[in-house]
A and B are shown apart, each in its own frame.
Chain A
Amino acid sequence: MKTPSRQPIIKLEEVSRVYDTGKIQVPALIDVNLDVAEGEFLAIVGPSGSGKSTMMNILGCLDRPTAGLYVLDGQPVDELDDDGLAYVRSRSIGFVFQSYNLLPRTSALDNVATPLMYQGVARKERERRARAALERLGLGDRVNHEPSELSGGQQQRVGIARALVTEPALILADEPTGNLDSHSGAEVLDLFRDLHAIGRTIVLITHDTEVATAADRAVHIRDGRLSEAVPA
């Protein structure tokens, strides 16, 4: 276990998210408490409909909790406006999606460089950094390929390069192996282990307890409530 004395990257206190559909109120998250320390590799495991996606949206600053406190990298984010959330996403979070979510008809290089564009980094510099990120993930010979010209495993590695290129405080992966065959999936999980080894903070959201074993620590989510689980 990591020493709890380290500064938490994520701190959730009594966080709830209730969807208001007009007639009825649907609670998706109920009183969630969670601390993730710097350098930790955490898996959030739950079946579909458990509140997993809501958890991912809240942690990724795509959505705001309806109640509770969320501090990310020392910054309370639960009351930021849209631009504020965009800024936090830009600086502090790197997303890895199940369906890769690369920009279509855009080269791997430009895909990886795009987050830097939104940070206002100059073109030359962001191309240099994007190329370096792709090379680190073994895609040095694929920089000019568009997503449609890459295999699923390669696309996901481009996605990971895009998440890493801004050096975010938190890498948030949502079912990153869900669309991959077992071989490519294992490679991606190995990549996350490597990133963890060099001190990256990773939160992996999955329904698959097998995948969750890659993490140091797993928490389970069911019916919007979070429970600690024994590390695998």
Chain B
Amino acid sequence: MKLADLLQLALSRLSTGKLRTALTMLGVIIGVASVVALVSVAQGATKGISDRLQNLGTNLVTVSPGFTRTGATRGAIGSATTLTLDDSNALTSLSGVAAVAPQLTTNKLVVAGSQNETARIVGTTPGYLSVFAYQMWAGSFINEAAIDNKLRVAVIGATTADNLSLTEASVGTTINIGGLPFVLIGILQPKGGTGNSDDQIVVPFSTVRELFVGSNSVSSIGLSAKSQEDIAAVTSEITATLEQRHNITTGVDDFNITSQAQLLGTVSSVSDVLTILLAGIASISLLVGGIGIMNIMLVSVRERTREIGIRKAIGARGRDILSQFLVEALALSLAGGFIGILVGVVASLAIGTYAGWGFVFNPGTVVVAVGFSLLVGIIFGVWPASQAARLDPVVALRYE
């Protein structure tokens, strides 16, 4: 028999019992819709988390000094002063590195008008803005000229600005840092999140070194990789460069590299488990939907025993009957699958909008869902169809 004939038979059969057809499909619709929606929810949640991680800095890699050792006593991480500005400059030329920001931090008393507080002072370079994903709220950030000329200019974090009652109008005024006058040239937009990333004052690296710290070392070096995929390569390049510069051959490094890759890796493995878990739960409803199809097809074979007998008498072979019933089951499960995808997409759109990560749509899920409903149709359609195909025409024709 031709496929077109089989399809026509199936469609005309399914359209004669619309309520039954709809109820049979409902199981598959719910199954496929929940697979699509739950996978989308899992992926949306993952996207939400990694977006927040991106907020901490775009593809951030941090290099910090190692620890000091006095006799048998191991100092804290970062206690050594082995990283220098020259190290930082050497890292600038690595491929895969988008921007580098060496940091030299200290704490100083800051006075603005009648307000004062002890704030964290970060001496850095213009790369800081992009490495740590800050945006300017008012004024401008430190530029190369400020570094070269060791200018006394300052950019303050949003929390610090609040604490010192500084507003947009204060840009251009003078504040005192550690007893020395600095011109306030900008205010950063708040980033939120944990830590005190909004409570700090950023000044040129060279200025801090000259006025406050006076050593050649840096507290840490922040780098941003060009893309997330580059992080691993960048990390090993940094290791090689610094080992060479520090003459380390033993493999025991005097610096530490941390990156978001580790954090992202953890998040994505958690979300993979989440996705599999949710998809697994949703597949159970798909299974139940499949059994619903099998049930209806078995009833249908029984009800239509006489029809099967007639068809066999007028020339249908077993395989014609088999394909007729199989195509019917497939039409049910595929139509249910397509409706289920629509419902699932709408549901994930609604959930995504409500939860705030927007609409996450994965075409792969649709392919899998269609494949799965096809599989359900075949698995649960074959048995009833083969029952129909094996009927003895003599018995079937006498069936009342």
Interface, chain A (partner B; CB < 8 A): 57, 60, 62-63, 82-83, 86-87, 89-91, 95, 97, 101-106, 114-115, 117-120, 123, 162, 166
Contact = CB atoms under 8 A, between A and B. Distances in A.
B310 A105 contact: no
B394 A115 contact: no
Contacts, number: 63
5 contacts: A62-B313, A86-B317, A101-B310, A118-B316, A162-B314
Interface string B302-332: 0000110111111111111000000000000
B1 A62 contact: no
Contacts of A101: 306, 309-310, 313, 397
A147 B393 CA distance: 21
Contacts of B393: 62
B15 to A, nearest CB: 10
A120 B2 contact: yes
B145 interface: no
A106 to B, nearest CB: 8
Nearest to B390: A82
A115 B16 CA distance: 22
Contact of A89 (B4, B5, B16, B313): B313
A115 B5 contact: no
Interface residues of B, number: 23
A117 B5 contact: yes
Contacts of B5: 117, 123
A60 B313 contact: yes
Nearest to A86: B317
A82 B12 CA distance: 28
Given A90-B314, A103-B310, 7 more contacts: A57-B394, A62-B393, A62-B394, A89-B313, A91-B315, A104-B307, A118-B311
A83 B311 CA distance: 13
B315 A119 contact: yes
A117 B318 contact: no
A105 B4 CA distance: 20
A82 B389 CA distance: 11
Interface in B308-363: 309-320
B192 to A, nearest CB: 66
